Amino acid sequence: MKLPEIPEDGQNRVTLEIEEGYSAGERLDVLVTNRLPKISRSRVKRLVSEGRICINGKPGKASTVVNGGDVIEVTFPHPPRPPASPEEIPLDIVFEDLHLLIVNKPAGMVVHPAAGHHSGTLVNALLALFDKLPNPGGGPSHRPGIVHRLDKDTSGLIVIAKTEELMTSLGRLFHEHDIDREYRALVWGDPPERGTINAPIKRHPNNRKKFAVQEDGKHAVTHWEVEERFSAWSLLKVTLETGRTHQIRVHMSSQGWPVFGDTTYGGTLHGLDKLNARDRELAREALNIMPHQALHAGTLGFIHPISKEHVLFRADVPQEYKNVLELFRTG
C-alpha cells in the first residue's frame, strides 16, 4: 500500500480511505500514525484533540476503532505566514474620508492573502496606499482594515476601515446585519418574479471548499427580484438579510438557478443539453467574454459611525458583465 505524503502549505488536508474488509481493530490515533509515519503519535493525538481528524465527516476520538470503508480526513494547520507586503496595484476608489474607504473590487482579485494567494490581493494594494491600517488581532496581519469580504470572482463594493474605531463600529454593523447590500446576479433559468430563500447554510460535508444548504447550518436569508429575463437566463436584483459565505451562490444553486459562470456551484453550461442550438452558442460565447461568476455587489449603504448620516454607494456592473447582458439581449 502506498502511503500518502504529508501535504505542503496550501494543500493541508490528506484523506485516508480504509479498504473494504479491513478488520485490524486499530484505534484512530494508531492507524493514522502508522499510515502517516512522518508525524508522531503525540502530534496525531494533538490533531485529534483539536478536531482536525475526522472519520466519515465527524471529528473522531483517539480511541475510535477504524473499520473497513471508513474515510479519514486529517487537516494540518498552516504554518504562520509572513505579513503581507505593499504592492502598487491600481484600485477603483469610490469614496474616501478620514475614517473609511470604499473600493470597487474587480472580479479575480482576492481580498486578503491566503493559501495560494500571497500577492496581488486587495490588502497588498492597500498597504501601498496607507502606512497603517487597523489590525484588531494584533501582531502581523493579513487582513488589515478588512471588515468584510467578497469572493475572489465577485466584483463590487467593499468597505475598508482606516481607524480602529471604524473597524469596531463597522464590524458591529455587519455582525448585526445593519448594512444595505444589493447585488446583480445573472442566473440560469426562469425564477418567479420575486421571492425569498430562507435556508440554513454550512460547509459542505464532502467538499471543504464548498458550502451547502443543510438543516443544522447557520441562518441565511436571501431576497430576489427579477430585473430582466432572457431566453435561458434571468438578471436578478438580490438583497441579503444575512452574510454567509457563498450565500447567494449556494441559495440560487439550491433552487436550480445557479449563478452564470459559477464553476463551483454548477453555473457553467448548466443544462446545456436542454438548450436550443442558438442558446448553447450564446452560453459558450458569454463564458468566453466573462469566464467567472456573474455576481456583482453594486450597492452598499450604512449609517456612518462618525457622522451618523446614512451613506449609500453604487457601482455599475463591469464592462464584461454589460457585454454579456447585451449579448443575451440581442442574441
**Residue from 113, 122, 195 nearest 157 by CA:** 122
Q: Which residues contact 60 (CB under 8 A, 6 or more apart)?
A: 28, 48, 53, 54, 72
On whether the CB atoms of residues 278 and 331 are closer than 8 A, the answer is yes
Cell of 41: 503519535
First to last CA, the chain: 55
CB-based contacts of 131: which residues, under 8 Å, 6+ apart?
none
Choosing from 29, 97, 131, 151, the catalytic residue is: 151
E strand spans, the chain: 13-17, 53-55, 58-59, 71-75, 93-96, 100-105, 155-161, 180-188, 194-198, 201-203, 211-213, 221-229, 233-240, 295-303, 310-314
97 is catalytic: no
The residues assigned a catalytic role are: 151
